[in-house]
């Protein structure tokens, strides 16, 4: 699998022209008559992410049929919704770094960041109305509710420290996999109206989304800040219990479990204590277990694609799954 690993640039070669059309819609959506909004919008465009979700929308549309203007609008709307949630998340998490650069709340403070997130969300809704598709509207409305409830569930469990593997999967489905799943399903909706394609792409995106979030959670303890563009150990410091720790806790000795609990109970955790926690998780197989689950969800998503004929777009979806499994940022 690793030998076939492609870069994101290589993966998107078949949809190079499609991405240009998406980017036009995306840039236009961030424009405003308010100077500060334009300034922040340009900051977002300069420090853009991987655009995984709109790429998935376009690849899904190409795999299922032929994309139209609505496909590019849907791709832009998905990215706007994603960015709005990130801007709000950084305020909630008190994050100072996003994609390797100062977060919006750090540069322009919380009030402006919250309002900018609201503005971007409203632009996503305007884009959605422009699609004029009731099925797409219903899907996005349900997804927005899942995103919010997933984040609230994570905060609730960090306060009570009562996270289980079952609850963890429910949480990451809501806060991450639901939007990735919707990205893929919107590609099907805007290129073909068959329920079979919608269901396939929804499930494909859901499995990929689960693998995607578990991979991100690994980065919190094992990542390199210069590559991930995020504060290392941020989740641990806020008592957000992720899969490696959940699994490890069930295999630790009583003395090791007490040590983990002691570290988690600390209001402020030093890098030394985070390193100690990382070593305990590693020794008890927590990281290995998480990687096994990434492979499991990834293989399930690739299996869904077997139902489609071979094409450059299907291959790119497969390559994107493999890319996620082995990415280091």
d(CA 233, CA 94): 13
For the chain, which domains are there?
Answer: 2-326 (1.10.600.10)
User: What pLDDT sits at residue 329?
Assistant: 78
d(CA 35, CA 116): 12
Per-residue pLDDT for 323 more than 90?
yes
User: What pLDDT sits at residue 156?
Assistant: 85
Per mean pLDDT, which range of 184-198, 258-272, 313-327 is the poorest? 258-272
Q: Indicate the pLDDT class of residue 286, thresholds 50, 70 and 90.
A: very high
How many Cα neighbours within 13 Å face the side chain of 26? 26
Average pLDDT, the chain: 90
Per-residue pLDDT for 238 more than 90?
no
Q: Indicate the pLDDT class of residue 221, thresholds 50, 70 and 90.
A: confident
User: What pLDDT sits at residue 3?
Assistant: 47
Q: Indicate the pLDDT class of residue 225, thresholds 50, 70 and 90.
A: low
User: What pLDDT sits at residue 237?
Assistant: 76
What percent of the chain shows pLDDT beyond 90?
64
SS3 at position 262? helix
Q: Indicate the pLDDT class of residue 1, thresholds 50, 70 and 90.
A: very low
Mean pLDDT score, 173-192? 96
Q: Which of 151, 146, 149 is nearest to 178 (CA)?
A: 146
Q: Indicate the pLDDT class of residue 37, thresholds 50, 70 and 90.
A: very high
pTM of the model: 0.91
Which contacts (CB < 8 Å, 24+ apart) does range 128-132 have?
128/77, 130/73, 131/70, 131/73, 131/74, 131/77, 131/190
Q: Indicate the pLDDT class of residue 146, thresholds 50, 70 and 90.
A: very high
Give the pLDDT confidence of 188-219 residue by residue, as tens digits.
Answer: 999 997 999 999 999 999 999 999 999 999 98
Mean pLDDT score, 43-59? 94
Per-residue pLDDT for 159 more than 80?
no
Mean pLDDT score, 91-103? 87
Q: Indicate the pLDDT class of residue 232, thresholds 50, 70 and 90.
A: low
Q: Indicate the pLDDT class of residue 130, thresholds 50, 70 and 90.
A: confident
User: What pLDDT sits at residue 231?
Assistant: 61
């Amino acid at each position: 699998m690793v030998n076939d690993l492609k870069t994101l640039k290589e993966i998107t070669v078949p949809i190079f022209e499609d991405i240009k059309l998406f980017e036009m819609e995306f840039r236009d959506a961030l424009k405003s008559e308010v100077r500060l909004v334009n300034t922040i919008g340009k900051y977002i465009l300069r420090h853009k992410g991987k655009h995984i979700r709109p790429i998935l929308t376009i690849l899904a549309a190409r795999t299922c049929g032929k994309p139209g203007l609505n496909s590019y609008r849907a791709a832009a709307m998905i990215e706007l919704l994603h960015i709005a949630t990130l801007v709000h998340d950084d305020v909630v998490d008190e994050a100072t770094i996003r994609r390797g650069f100062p977060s919006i709340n750090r540069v322009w403070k919380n009030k402006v960041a919250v309002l900018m997130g609201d503005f971007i969300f409203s632009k996503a809704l305007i884009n959605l109305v422009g699609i004029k598709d009731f099925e797409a509207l219903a899907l996005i409305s349900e997804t927005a509710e899942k995103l919010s409830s997933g984040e609230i569930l994570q905060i609730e469990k960090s306060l009570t420290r009562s996270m289980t593997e079952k609850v963890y999967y429910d949480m990451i489905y809501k806060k991450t996999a639901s939007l990735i799943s919707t990205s893929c399903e919107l590609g099907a909706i805007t290129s073909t109206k068959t329920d079979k394609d919608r269901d396939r792409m929804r499930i494909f995106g859901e499995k990929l989304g689960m693998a995607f979030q578990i991979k991100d959670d690994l980065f919190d303890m094992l990542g390199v800040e210069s590559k991930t563009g995020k504060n290392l150990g941020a989740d641990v410091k806020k008592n957000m219990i992720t899969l490696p720790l959940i699994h490890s806790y069930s295999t630790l000795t009583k003395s090791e479990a007490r040590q983990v609990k002691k570290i988690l109970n600390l209001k402020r955790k030093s890098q030394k204590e985070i390193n100690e926690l990382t070593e305990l998780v590693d020794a008890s197989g927590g990281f290995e277990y998480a990687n096994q689950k990434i492979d499991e969800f990834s293989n399930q998503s690739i299996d869904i694609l077997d139902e489609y004929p071979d094409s450059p777009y299907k291959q790119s979806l497969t390559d994107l799954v493999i890319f996620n499994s082995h990415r280091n940022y």
